[in-house]
Amino acid sequence: MNAPLTKPSHCNSSDEILSKITPLLKGVIKRHNGGYLAFCPSHDDLKGRSLAVSLGRQGQALMHCFAGCSIHEITAAIDLNPADLFPRESRYEPQTRSYFNESLILEALRHDALVVLIAARTMLTGKALPESDIDFLSKAIIRINEAASFSGRFK
């Protein structure tokens, strides 16, 4: 007799995931590779067990219906969400966003402004700038303009 069907709470380990999911399925048999075969809950399996259930590399439950049912159809049929197939420790957790330090940005802009000043003084003496300096100046001007337009968004 099957265990009572209960929706799995978020599992702590990958072993727990399969032990929580397999009771929700009918006709589960263990395969030689450690996975399971079962009747797919999202369609009438008349020709045999078409749902393969196994453990993925990251500890998640993998479910594949050989008749073509999607993971969303399969999980919905057993009152689960695809996120329930993952162990808790692998769930997405938003990372804190790192911002540039204002003093570092100002220091970089100060350096670019100094390069522009030196280039302007060199050109005033009638000397031509090498191509590499012109390329660097172009990029410095773009950085200064981007910083100015970015800071304008906060006014």
pTM beyond 0.85: the answer is no
How open is the CA angle 70-20-72, to the nearest 5 degrees? 15
Distance CA 2, CA 80 (A): 18
Question: Per-residue confidence of the chain (155 residues) as pLDDT tens digits?
Answer: 333 334 444 444 556 888 889 999 999 999 988 899 999 999 988 788 999 999 988 888 999 999 999 999 999 999 998 888 988 765 555 566 666 677 778 888 888 889 899 999 999 999 998 888 888 898 888 888 887 776 655 55
Distance CA 14, CA 88 (A): 9
Exposed/middle/buried for residue 7 (C-beta within 10 Å: 0-12, 13-18, 19+)? exposed
